Chains A and B, each alone.
Chain A
Amino acid sequence: QVQLVESGGGVVQPGRSLRLSCAASGFTFSYYAMHWLRQAPGKGLEWVALISYDGSNKYFAASVKGRFTISRDNSNNTLYLQMNSLRAEDTAVYYCATAQGGGYQGPFDIWGQGTMVTVSS
């Protein structure tokens, strides 16, 4: 079945880096644009980043632009989020997701279970 599984979360000090992974299965990963979203504890949802199906186009929320990068390995069906210069306000559950139809403009119909990132000294 279609599945997304995030990993790589943990506790990290402010200013440090962390890389998240998202393993995809059950669909043709290389055909799909992929997204990262996050949810701070007790808060709402925030879109973070988008990468096109082939990795040639990348888009970021203003809150993470210049600090986070997104990449993918289509040969291993894996999505990444490299998070640098982490701040306390980056503390959140991070989800990977696909938009309906696999393009840019669609509701998010497939979600992973999320991985928790805590930025604290």
Chain B
Amino acid sequence: EIVLTQSPGTLSLSPGERATLSCRASQSVSTSYLAWYQQKPGQAPRLLIYGASSRATGIPDRFSGSGSGTDFTLTISRLEPEDFAVYYCQQYGSSYTFGQGTKLEIK
């Protein structure tokens, strides 16, 4: 099983700042089958990024994904108030596993 480790566990930033979230895999993720999700309290996760760097439909361009192999990054260029949430990475190349999440909170 591919284990995904996200860091940091909590990220405290202010609106307008840049956020960088990391996801490291225990083994290489095939064909960059890596996705990022945003989840707000009481809601289902929302797909943001798939294929490591492709934005899902309707996702603002301030969200971007990068990386390959075992190291992946989600960047939010300028934080908006609605971006404060929990973010999960997920690999879907070998079954399906998720990271433990990064909580992005307002500083």
Residue of chain A at shortest CB distance from B98 = A45
Instruction: Report which of B33, B45, B47, B98 forms a contact with A46, defined as CB distance below 8 A.
Output: B98
Main secondary structure of the interface of B (DSSP, over half): loop
**Complex: A4 Cα to B91 Cα, angstroms:** 23
Q: Identify the closest chain B residue to A47 (Cβ).
A: B96
Which residue on B lies nearest to A45, using beta carbons? B98
B50 with A100: CB separation less than 8 A? yes
Taking a contact as CB atoms under 8 Å apart, the answer to whether A106 and B45 are in contact is no
- What is the number of residues of chain B that contact chain A, defined by CB distance less than 8 Å? 21
Please pick, from A45, A107, A114, the residue contacting B92 in the complex, using a CB distance under 8 A.
A107
CB-nearest residue of chain A to B95:
A47
Q: How large is the interface on A (under 10, 10 to 19, 20 to 34, 35 or more residues)?
A: 10 to 19
Are B33 and A105 in contact, CB atoms less than 8 angstroms apart? Answer: yes
Instruction: Give 21 CB contacts A-B under 8 Å.
Output: A35-B96, A44-B98, A44-B99, A44-B100, A44-B101, A45-B98, A46-B98, A47-B97, A95-B44, A105-B92, A105-B93, A106-B92, A107-B35, A107-B50, A107-B56, A108-B35, A108-B37, A109-B50, A113-B43, A113-B44, A114-B44
* Residue in chain B with minimal CB distance to A62: B1
Q: Which residues of B contact A108 (CB under 8 A)?
A: 35, 37, 45, 47, 90
Q: Which residues of A contact B98 (CB under 8 A)?
A: 44-47
Contact with B along A100-120 (1 / 0, CB 8 A): 100001111101111000000
